[in-house]
Amino acid sequence: MYNASPDAYKQMMAQDSVGDIDKPADAVTLTFFGQNVVTSTGAMWKKHRKIAAPAFNQETYADVWNVTASLYHQMQSSEAWKAGDVINFPAFNRFTTRMALLVIAACGFDMRIGWEESPSYPGLHSTIDQVIVTVSSNLLIRIVAPEWVLSIPSAAMRTIKVAYADLRQYLTAEISSKRADVQKRKAVGGMTESTDRNVFGRLVAASEAEGSAGLDESELMGNLFIFLFAGHETTAHTLVVTLALLAVHPEEQERIYRHVSDVVGDREPTFQDFSDLNPVLHAFSEAMRLYPPAYVQIRSPTADVVIQYNDVDRPEITHDVFVAKGTMMCMDQVGLNRNPRMFPQPDEFIPSRWDGKTTDDLLPFSFGPRVCLGKKFALVEAVCFLTHLLRDWRVEIDLSGFASFQDWRAEHLYPTMGVTLKTGDVPLRMVKRSRC
C-alpha cells in the first residue's frame, strides 16, 4: 500500500512504535554497525530513544551554530574563495558536504577538524574524514550486496572494506575511551552525566548511567554510525539544493538577504538570532520539501487498523481505509510533500508557504514519536550556514545554453535515488556583496 496523504501519514506515524504501527523487519537496513534508534522497533526502540534523546539539547544546538560559523569563516579564508569577487564553482556540493561533515564531526564526535585539515588517527589507513566520506559514499553497496562482495579482488572493493574496518576500529576505541572516563568519574564519587558538548560523549554517559539496561558496544556503535551518516549526508544535499533554488529564484534570495540584513546588520550572527531568521529556515524547509532526502518510509501494522483520510474533492468528507495486520505500507515522501491539498502549486519553490506553519509540517524529518532526533541540529546548522553565506554573497547560475531558469533546474537538480534522494554536481556562481 502506497500513501501520499499527509492526513493518513500523520495518523500512521503518530502510532509508530507506540501503537499498532511499526517498522517491519525486512525493511530494516543500516544495521551493519549495530542496532540503533532508527532501525530498532518496539521495546528496543524505546530503550534506544530514552538513552539517545537527551544527547540533543540547547547546549548541543548552540555548539552547532558556533562550529558552523567558525567553519564558514575558515572556508572563506581558503584558497578556493580568494579568486575574486565573482567565483564560479563547478560543483558547490563539495563545500556543503565538507561543511556538514565537519559540523557533525565536531558537535557529534568532538573531532574539531579545521576546514583545510585532514588529521590522521593511529592505526587507520586513511585520514578519519576520508574514512567517513568513503563509508557514506558507498552505503548502497554495503546494504544490498552480501558480505563476500567486499572481498572481491578489486581496488574499489578493497577501499570500501578497509574504510568500514577503519571506522569500526575508530568507534570501538572512542567508545572504550568514553566509557573509561565515565567509570573513572564513578570511582571517585563523581557524576556519570557527561560534561561533553558533543553528542557522542553524552550518549555514552547516558548509556552508562542506565547500568545493565544501557546500550551494549554494538548498539552504541550503531547509533554513532547512524548519527554520522544522517548528520551530514542529508544536510549537505539539502543545503546545495537550497542555494541552487535561491539562485533560480533571485527574488526570493533578495527577500531573504534583506531580512538577514535587518536582523543582524553588520554584526556577527549568533545562535540567539535563530528564531528571528524564519525566512532562511523556510527556504531550507521548502528545498527539503521538494527534494526529501529520505524519500520513502516503510511501516506495517502489528494489528488490524483503520486509517481515515479526507476526500480529494470534498475535504469535509472523511473515508475509512481498513489496513490488515502485516500489510506493507510505503510512505511516499515525494508524494506527501507534493500533495496539492497541503502544498498548493506543489512543484513550485515558494518559501513563504511555510509562514505560519511549524516544523511539525516538515515531513521529511518524519512525524510523531519517531521524528528525527537530529532535526533541530540540522535546522540550526542550515540556518547558520545560509545566513552567513547569503549575507556575504549573491548566488547565481550560468544560464549559457539554457532557455530559462526552469531548464537549468531540470538539468542540474534532477534527482536520483540511492540510499537517499540527491542531485548530481550543482554548479553555482558566487558574487560578493558590496558590504564585504
Binding residues for heme: 372
| Strand positions, DSSP E, 39-140 | 86-89
CB atoms within 10 A of CB 320: 8
Neighbour order of strands in the sheet with 2-3: 2-3, 329-332, 296-301, 21-22
Phi, psi at residue 143, to the nearest 5°?
Answer: -75, -50
Counts for the chain of helices (H) and strands (E), in that order: 14, 11
**119 by DSSP, 3-state: which?**
coil
- CB neighbourhood size of 263 (10 A): 17
Residue that has been written with the C-alpha cell 537550497 in this structure = 242
The closest alpha carbon to 334, from 376, 297, 373, belongs to 297
- For residue 269, what is the enclosing H or E element? none
Task: State CA 268 to chain mean position distance.
Answer: 25
Residues in Cβ contact with 262 at an 8 Å cutoff, skipping those fewer than 6 apart: none
| Residue 205 cell numbers, joined | 554517559
Binding residues: 372
Cβ(307)–Cβ(8) under 8 Å? yes
| Helix 217-248, helix 278-290: angle, nearest 10 | 100
Residue 232 neighbours by CB under 8 Å, 6+ apart: 97, 100, 101, 103, 104, 132, 136
Our CA dihedral for 9, 340, 364, 44, rounded to 10 degrees, sits at 0
Contact in structure between 111 and 105 (CB atoms under 8 Å): yes
Contact present, 414 and 423 (Cβ < 8 Å): yes
Dihedral sign, Cα of residue 320, residue 321, residue 324, residue 330: negative
